[in-house]
Structure 1
Amino acid sequence: MSLHQLNTASKSELMEINGIGEKKADAIIKERKKGKFKSFEDFQRVEGIGEQTAKNVKNDVKVKKDTKKK
């Protein structure tokens, strides 16, 4: 799951992320309705998501990078 997918994931998909349970998944969905997450630091505006949880999610969620091979 990428950062982009955090903005679109279903509740059950969010709960598959290490450290995200039902309450945090609900809080993520509620907060992203106010505006999309543009960074993992931005993700910390979610109630119940502190710096450590954001770091854990960042490690668990893979941000897609353009890795074109030459």
Structure 2
Amino acid sequence: MGKNLRLKAARAAKDMSQKELAEITKVTRQTINAIENGDFNPSIRLCRSICKALNKTLDEIFWEDEADVE
């Protein structure tokens, strides 16, 4: 699992810090950081919560296509 640059970009586009996203989704900032760095595979519930907070679909943030696989 590589870095989740789409999550980072979507968060930045909303001018939202990792801490702010973490508070909205009820996880720690370290969890958001780990997801962005590809060090943590979030539950589907957390994925949905993140997408709702960023107004994105699961596919837009978490779908890996062939180009994303290292």
Q: TM-score, normalised by structure 1?
A: 0.41
| Structure of higher CA gyration radius | 1
TM-score (norm 2): 0.41
